[in-house]
Chains A and B, each alone.
Chain A
């Protein structure tokens, strides 16, 4: 200890008093521990982040998850495959259709089932609408987190329109449960394609407005450009996928690299960002929605007619012995199902590799060193659904 410094004991909660050594003339300070969540307006549910603060600057951040753990993987071991479809569309409630898709494809591939052509295209159509539906939530809520309260209402207006047509097709608003092993529950209702085509035009026009409202806004840019930049190699290291990985400049999209359904027969681009900051992540969402609309339009033109279920389906679905990992590009990133079957009606083990889990695990890397307001900007742009994290 130099003669100019002194040691002071700072009071605290019982047992947490700390002694600090400070230079003469300086004030003794200690870090403040702050709990963001589990009940906090900007954690989309019940994510909790324990941060230590020096003033408003974050020193350490540790996400605490599990408040919504519902044991889906265990439950799946006691459900047959029909029931699992209804089960898996609940972990990420904003991308229900895409979730179902992964399980359905995994089981079909394991069984060697041929899915009818029309069902494949309808799946693609609905999955892309689901993607737009999902991204609209994040576009709305991200503005809200940065204090722009208007975009969320606009986004939900479009969501309502999209949900209406999805409801017309599937009968569900959130949990569609429209996939079946082998195909789909039903064919599309009459006039669906026409309505869908009208909606594509409508949503596309409105998207331009939102882009101006948010991406073109000076304050929005100031709040997001350069905030929470994530290098691409770190993102891959953490298994971060989807829009966040693409924002880092990595053009990874399993619709392109390992096409499932008929993604190899439609044209679309994988948008990539430059800096991997909050702005790029948000920008990628807009581009992805545009690409989705492009795919939807191509489906409209090329959807074949025919049945939506294979003619001969076994009464009870039993996946043959073996294992498979099936990934799909969900709105939030790579959603994969690692399915181990022992030839039963129920899976022996169904591991859900969810996008949000890996994405959120990267947060301790991204937060230290930034300010509390930026933390909100970063958390909001690490698009996650808490149910998808906790499962």
Chain B
């Protein structure tokens, strides 16, 4: 199926798709409401026309916004702070992406949803694709998203006593707080700085 057909099929068959994305590179994503997350995923897995049997990855993207008062102000030049540009910013919070692939039909789909930064939670997909187990553990420790019904949501890669959620934007790299990364700048930029 072409990405367009796929998206329209998912839209019709489930009625859960809130909006969809088609990139110029021909990659498709469908957005669902967080409370319908499991339902949508189950359809992708079980529907014969979708046939998504290969679990590729699950992760989250911090969309910024709501940085919280305790987060230090962004350092360095403007532009480096990576303030979210309004055009992409469909909403604030954490965007969860689940990418699946159908081996026989050879098509991909990104299933996306948006959860709030504080107390965001989704139903686990580890019962749908077993591979989701570790990916959800990783996403939970890195972004602080809960996965209800997950068999074991312990820390995966981080030490047990680690505090904070490293892949959120308000978590700054410690070394960068002390000293700016020199490689951030283009050679000519540094040159300009030296002149000024």
Contact = CB atoms under 8 A, between A and B. Distances in A.
Contacts, number: 122
A65 B157 contact: yes
Contacts of B159: 66
Contact of A237 (B55, B108, B181): B55
7 contacts: A78-B176, A83-B183, A325-B27, A342-B82, A348-B61, A349-B62, A390-B157
A343 B85 contact: yes
A232 B186 CA distance: 48
Contact of A342 (B53, B88, B103): B88
Nearest to A334: B56
B99 A365 contact: no
A115 to B, nearest CB: 15
Nearest to B187: A315
Contact of B53 (A69, A109, A237, A338): A237
B113 interface: no
Contacts of A263: none
B184 A323 contact: no
B54 interface: yes
B186 A340 contact: no
A316 B23 CA distance: 23
B110 A325 contact: yes
Contacts of A5: none
A238 interface: yes
A267 B55 CA distance: 28
B25 A239 contact: no
A78 B53 CA distance: 35
A65 B156 CA distance: 6
Interface in B164-190: 166-167, 171, 173, 176, 181, 183-184, 186, 188
A141 B57 CA distance: 29
Interface of B: 23-25, 27, 29, 53-57, 59, 61-62, 79, 82, 84-85, 87-88, 97, 99, 103, 106, 108, 110, 129-131, 133-135, 142, 155-159, 166-167, 171, 173, 176, 181, 183-184, 186, 188
Contact of A357 (B134, B155, B173): B134
A344 B79 contact: yes
Given A239-B129, A257-B106, A348-B82, A71 B166 contact: yes
Contacts of A112: 24
Most B CB atoms within 10 A — which of A233, A239, A342? A239
A349 B95 CA distance: 11
Contacts of A250: 103
Given A342-B85, A361-B131, A353 B57 contact: yes
B61 A358 contact: no
Given A78-B184, A239-B55, A321-B85, A361 B62 contact: no
Nearest to B186: A316
A236 B173 contact: no
A77 B54 CA distance: 28
A365 B56 CA distance: 18
Contacts of A357: 134
Contacts of A324: 23, 25, 27
B55 A236 contact: yes
B55 A73 contact: no
Interface of A: 65-66, 69, 71, 73-75, 77-80, 83, 109-110, 112, 233-234, 236-241, 250, 252, 257-258, 315-316, 321-325, 327, 334, 336, 338, 340, 342-346, 348-349, 351, 353, 357-358, 361-362, 365, 390-391
A361 B133 contact: yes
B54 A236 contact: yes
B183 A322 contact: no
B56 A336 contact: yes
Contacts of A74: 166-167, 171, 173
Given A73-B167, A324-B27, A343-B85, A351 B176 contact: no
A279 to B, nearest CB: 23
B57 A78 contact: no
A80 B186 CA distance: 9
Given A325-B27, A336-B56, A336-B57, 12 more contacts: A69-B158, A74-B167, A78-B173, A234-B130, A236-B54, A239-B57, A239-B131, A241-B54, A321-B88, A342-B85, A343-B85, A348-B61
Contact of B131 (A65, A77, A358): A358
A325 B54 contact: no
